[in-house]
Structure 1
Amino acid sequence: MSTTVIQTATPKNWKAYQLLDSGGFEKLEKFGDYILRRPEPQAAWDKSLSELEWQNRANAYFKKDKGSQEKGEWMLKKGMVERWYMPYQTPTLNLNFKLALSSFKHVGIFPEQAMNWDFIMEKVKKMPVKNPKVLNLFAYTGGASIAAKQAGADVTHVDSIKQVISWSRDNMEASQLDNIRWVVEDAMKFVRREAKRGNVYQGIILDPPAYGRGPDGEKWVLEEQINEMLKTVAQILDKENYFLILNMYSMGFSSLIVENLVKCSFEHSKNHEFGELYLEDSFKKKLPLGVYYRFASI
């Protein structure tokens, strides 16, 4: 089993997205035609641009509710819209995403995940299986799902929130794709059932939150359940032709913890890569945005 520690930024050919500046526990980002200012707890350093430049550049900024770390509202300048589309175009991928200003500071996309979309495209295309089955768990608005679909995979997309599934469907249609299987269900419950049925997937993507709730109130706590989740996923991942991607956004989890978790459940897998996900701003400051682990048969 080979293991390579690497760090990867957002692909340089994504012209529609830019991290313009970071610091002072904020980030200034360009999403297509619009520039947003929002909180970022990891950006503990100084900003490179002045406060006046941040104010002048931002089309909208997120104002947190008093006493809340996540919830708040967006303050919009004249001409700013609440919904718009942004493309992701490379020599092999041509995706389109619907963005929206949510009350939890998110906009419907995590730009650092673009390097995983490229990985998915490469592995699905190389796999000696026609229409390999790919399972996307905790799938959110489906960037990984539509990347896998465009590569030719048979995709199952699992998330516990109906509104997020609808958003994912919009992204699929905006990318001129179809026939993704949508499942509104608790991710743990779904993989347990798949394991009992003996179903197998060639690709599995996990993007679990630190905390969450299933549609029937099922409780998800990352620290308590990720080990069981990986052991169960190991039962439904093809033993010959496979890839797996695991993203972890919990600030308490290092890449070494993730390495130990994965190795315990996937002893005979190969071509392992792990490290920090980050974005680099215009001033070369690197903003860490979680850790990842991935491996593939090819």
Structure 2
Amino acid sequence: MELLTPENWPSYELIDTGGFEKLERFGAIILSRPEPQAIWPKSLTDEEWQQRANAIFKRDKGSQEKGEWVLRSKMDGKWFIPYQQQGLDLTFKLSLSSFKHVGIFPEQAVNWPYIHQKVSALPVEKPRILNVFAYTGAASLAARQAGAEVTHVDAVRQVITWSRENMEASGLDNIRWVVEDALKFVRREARRGNTYHGLILDPPAYGRGPEGEKWLLEENLNELLQVCSELLDKQNFFLIINLYSLGFSALILENLMRAHFVNRPNTEFGELYLADGFAKRLPLGVFYRFSSI
């Protein structure tokens, strides 16, 4: 098993963690957000956190996710940060949402160069890439910048709009946007006999499709992987999956992948993490990826 973390990204910094919170810098903006896995003490004092943060997320009473941002200093409602590494030159729009998210998951930066490299190395003129549960599209942009034909699927129309803004800010075009329930989409693609050279899967612990379809990771992941095994090209391929549910270890994910994908060359799996300024390592999900190249 491997432990992966992004490196050398000047636009992002995990300053401190602890007390079920994290203090992060995105560009010039510093945010304080809840973090359920940061059960250890903070390294900085509460006063230092308050002084540094431009905005602090406060949960609504009785809610684990929803809340509001308390602004500690004047700031724009949206701002942009660059990502320039290993052949990639991307720009992301960030914004304060009522669910504590800002538009990117920084730990996922370990996957963006991987996607770009694999797409570039595939011996296919126009590799077909499918990104489901695709959120605001950082992985889609990495694939598109390498020349892939990208299909980007998410159930939330507003998130698709956000993804399009990121595409335009990055100077890219021609990504195929699909607002649909992910499981419904891959089932239909399999029935049609469509295949993809790259699959990027980022399923949440729970969610809802645009028509109220219910997604529960522990109930639906098996079917998702089974159908995706039919969609992946047999000759030239790569696959990445990330899971964020506390109940799923890297070993559980490995067992699932073994069950559904017979051919898994160049396999890597383990945990994603971010290290704060005091060398505390914050776990942020498990990953599994393999490729034919």
TM-score range, shorter chain: over 0.9
Alignment partners' CA distance in 1, 2:264 and 2:16: 39
Deviates more, 1:73-82 or 1:259-268: 73-82
Alignment partners' CA distance in 2, 1:271 and 1:260: 16
Deviation string for 1:145-183 (max 9, x for gaps)? 001000111000000110000000000000000000000
Q: Contact conserved, 2:197 with 2:232, CA < 8 A, in 1?
A: yes
- Residue 44 of structure 2: aligned partner: 49
> Does residue 296 of structure 1 match 2:291?
yes
Q: Share of identical aligned residues, percent?
A: 66
Unaligned residue ranges in structure 1 (runs of 5+): none
Q: Cα distance, 1:131 vs. partner? A: 1.7
Aligned counterpart for 1:176 among listed residues 160, 166, 171: 171
> Does residue 276 of structure 1 match 2:234?
no
* Counterpart residue type for residue 8 of structure 1: L
Unaligned residue ranges in structure 2 (runs of 5+): none
* Counterpart residue type for residue 164 of structure 2: R
**Counterparts of residues 107-146 of structure 1 (less than 5 Å):** 107-146=102-141
Deviation string for 1:111-156 (max 9, x for gaps)? 0000110110110111111120000000000010001000111000
* Counterpart residue type for residue 231 of structure 2: I
Q: Contact conserved, 2:55 with 2:73, CA < 8 A, in 1?
A: no
* Counterpart residue type for residue 278 of structure 2: F
- Residue 105 of structure 1: aligned partner: 100
Using CA pairs under 8 Å that are at least 6 residues apart, name the structure with larger relative contact order, 1 or 2: 1
Alignment partners' CA distance in 2, 1:77 and 1:192: 47
**Counterparts of residues 131-210 of structure 1 (less than 5 Å):** 131-210=126-205
Deviation string for 1:62-101 (max 9, x for gaps)? 0111111111100112322221111111141011000000
- Residue 226 of structure 1: aligned partner: 221
Alignment partners' CA distance in 2, 1:247 and 1:219: 19
- Residue 18 of structure 2: aligned partner: 23
Q: Cα distance, 1:13 vs. partner? A: 1.7
TM superposition score normalised by structure 2: 0.99
How many residue pairs get matched?
293
Secondary structure class of the residue paired with 2:50: helix
Alignment partners' CA distance in 1, 2:89 and 2:248: 33
**Counterparts of residues 1-20 of structure 1 (less than 5 Å):** 5-10=1-6, 12-20=7-15
Q: Cα distance, 1:268 vs. partner? A: 1.7
Aligned counterpart for 1:92 among listed residues 87, 106, 109: 87
Aligned alpha-carbon RMSD (Å) = 0.7
* Counterpart residue type for residue 272 of structure 1: T
* Counterpart residue type for residue 178 of structure 1: D
- Residue 217 of structure 1: aligned partner: 212
> Does residue 58 of structure 1 match 2:53?
yes
Secondary structure class of the residue paired with 2:3: coil
Secondary structure class of the residue paired with 1:7: strand
